[in-house]
Structure 1
Amino acid sequence: MNNDPFTKFGVWMAEAEASEPNDPNAMTLATTSASGRPAARIVLLKGWDERGFVFYSNLESRKADEMRENAQVSLLFHWKSLRRQIRIEGKVSPVSVAEADEYFASRPRVSKLGAWASAQSRPLPSREVFEARLAEVEARFPGEDVPRPENWSGWRLTPDYVEFWEDREFRLHDRQVFTRKGDAWETGLLYP
């Protein structure tokens, strides 16, 4: 068994990128509110290394509020065509301003404008209201340069638990887990 979850993640992600028709980097992000109510939604993985897994969003969104209340979150990758999933648990922390700026600069112009126009997770009276806000933002930032709004950034989940699940016939699945112990990882298997 491999003793490094990041190496195994890299292999599985590369295989997903080669076979998944859409967004192999899509992952479910699960958070909880202060009252303990769980919430899950799909976000996109935008970077990863041995420090953790990075995603971006509006800092005024419900998920951001919940992550500020409880930094312990969970990610789930599910690649149906590969019959695999990866569960990742740990604590989130904000990415640096430089990381947020660098990623925001790499986004398509319309995505940048959308970050300014969207009051994410807030009630929207109609699609026309959002489209009008988008037109206002486009007029405010003519040309290609669209700065990152202060209410848009990212988080890095530093994992302390990673589980690799692979489907097997008759539900006799393979499950390998990695648990962080200090600076090292312990690995083992779970019954299906």
Structure 2
Amino acid sequence: MLVIDPAALTARENYQLLTASVIPRPIALVTTLSQEGVLNAAPFSYFSIVASDPPLLSVSVQRKQGVRKDTARNAVERKAFVVHIVDETNVHAANEAAASLPPNESEMPRAGFTPVASAAIEVPGIQEAKIRMECVLEQAIGLGGAGEQEPACDLLIGRVVRFHFAEEVYLNGIVAADRLQPVSRLGGSDYAVLGKRFALERP
């Protein structure tokens, strides 16, 4: 085995190793609302489930030179955000939403997304997503950095207060993966779709 000390690598080199090793990663397309009423949309693959009782999700938003990105700032200020699952029908639009735009400009028109009102929070969702989850912010944790340095990222923990499922993917309480057609993130510019699947009974 090749042994590498991450402390001897640049941040970019560590990023490349991590994102090419921890694969596949589901992609959260997150909408937030600024204090000025601008609807922000951005995709994040540093995303996972934290707990199911209560239902908690995590989204890690990397800072840029110590400065919070719009998603993290808006989520902290509004205490709410919406998580959408990226699938084959909207992955290109989600990628467009990754463009760096000024805070006063929404990514929604650029990506061709349609805002839709949420049921329990003030932040709108995206109509084109087959799954969306309205979240209230449980915690925002600044992580990374050393000494007096600003944190390297904001870990957002959201509690799901409403699930929304397109009828074609929700079958008797189960989400049909073949109908959802989720897309995952790999290293570099690569993505992946569902491939060969198999089941294992837990011991």
TM-score range, shorter chain: 0.3 to 0.5
Higher helix proportion (structure 1 or 2): 1
TM-score (norm: length of structure 1): 0.43
Give the greater-gyration-radius structure (CA).
1
What's the TM-score, normalizing by structure 2? 0.41
